[in-house]
Chain A
């Protein structure tokens, strides 16, 4: 089945450790995104990528790193520099808009990874 898969669903990390969250999609989408969601808050953009080997910082990139070595994969590393990493992390993918009013730019989301720092 086509879709976007995040793993693991739950992740526990000790303070001071880096951890990598996996995101894989088989939708042939060019764009991929990482969002962070805190309780009662909206989605905040961490990083995004439009093409392999290229990615851009979002609104809250500090303490995070990403790579885009393959079109299908966009892993997110939460580094020890992230001061408050406990959150729900969502990965998404979409096509890149090709024209005005392009309705195919729907973002498809994974099921999320809940990261808890202990």
Chain B
């Protein structure tokens, strides 16, 4: 069964600090992996997307990495801001069949001043 596991479940950091969120998946055959940011009470918004041939992708202070061999991805947030407080969701899509993506449960990040 396709699964996406994220860790930690929640994280509290001080403003200005860096942090890294993890995503492990068993989805196969792999098509692409996305990281979404979901503010409280809002719909998720895509941050980055990576295909199997990409190792890293940046979007401002957000940098995602992908290791297709070990089926792991990470999202690194640099110099965190209060507005980074949100849930970060890892989503993996398969290729050649079902177009339904598999969602992780998300990591809840709280940035304190």
Contact = CB atoms under 8 A, between A and B. Distances in A.
Interface of A: 6, 31, 33, 35, 40-43, 45, 48, 50, 58, 88, 90, 92, 94, 96-97, 99-103, 105-107, 109-112, 114
Nearest to A97: B99
Q: How large is the interface on B (under 10, 10 to 19, 20 to 34, 35 or more residues)?
A: 20 to 34
B18 interface: no
Nearest to A10: B41
Interface stretch (B19-27, B45-53, B72-80): B45-53
Contacts, number: 66
Contacts of A114: 41
B49 A43 contact: no
Contact of A105 (B45, B101, B106, B108): B101
B74 to A, nearest CB: 18
Contacts of B53: 101
A105 B89 contact: no
